[in-house]
Amino acid sequence: MRRPNIGGTFKARKLGHFRDEAAYQRYCTAYDTAFAALPVVPAQTWDIDTSFGSVRVYRFGADTREPMLLLPGRAAASPMWAGNLPGLVDARGTYCIDLLGEPGLSVQTRPVTGDADHAAWLDELIAALPVDRVHLVGLSFGGWTALNLAGHRPGRLASVTVLDPVNTFGRITWKVVVVSLGAVIPGMPGPWRRKLMSWIAGGAEASDADPVAALIASGLRDFAAMLPQPTYPSDERLRSITVPALAVIAGRSIIHNPAKAAERAHRLLPTATVETWPLATHALNGEFPERIASTINTFVGRH
As a whole number, mean pLDDT of residues 243-247 equals: 98
Range name among 36-45, 128-137, 204-213, 225-234 with the lowest pLDDT average: 204-213
Bridge partners, residue 250, by sequence: 277
Which of helix, strand or coil describes residue 301?
A: helix
Q: State the chain's mean pLDDT as an integer.
A: 91
pTM of the model: 0.91
Under 8 Å CB-to-CB from 270, ≥6 apart: which residues? none
Q: Torsion-angle region of residue 225: left (phi > 0), alpha (psi -120 to 50) or beta?
A: beta
The answer to whether the Cα torsion of 288, 291, 294, 296 is positive or negative is negative
pLDDT tens per residue, range 212-238: 988 988 998 899 999 998 999 999 999
Q: How many CA atoms lie within 13 A of 58 on its CB side?
A: 24
As a whole number, mean pLDDT of residues 169-179 equals: 70
Indicate the pairing of strand 223-224 with strand 157-163.
unpaired
What is the C-alpha to C-alpha distance for residues 85 and 41, in angstroms, rounded to an integer? Answer: 10
Q: How many CA atoms lie within 13 A of 139 on its CB side?
A: 26
Q: Which CATH superfamily hosts domain 9-301? A: Alpha/Beta hydrolase fold, catalytic domain (3.40.50.1820)
Q: How many CA atoms lie within 13 A of 136 on its CB side?
A: 32
pLDDT tens per residue, range 249-303: 999 998 899 999 999 999 999 999 999 999 999 989 999 999 999 999 999 999 9
What is the C-alpha to C-alpha distance for residues 60 and 168, in angstroms, rounded to an integer? Answer: 29
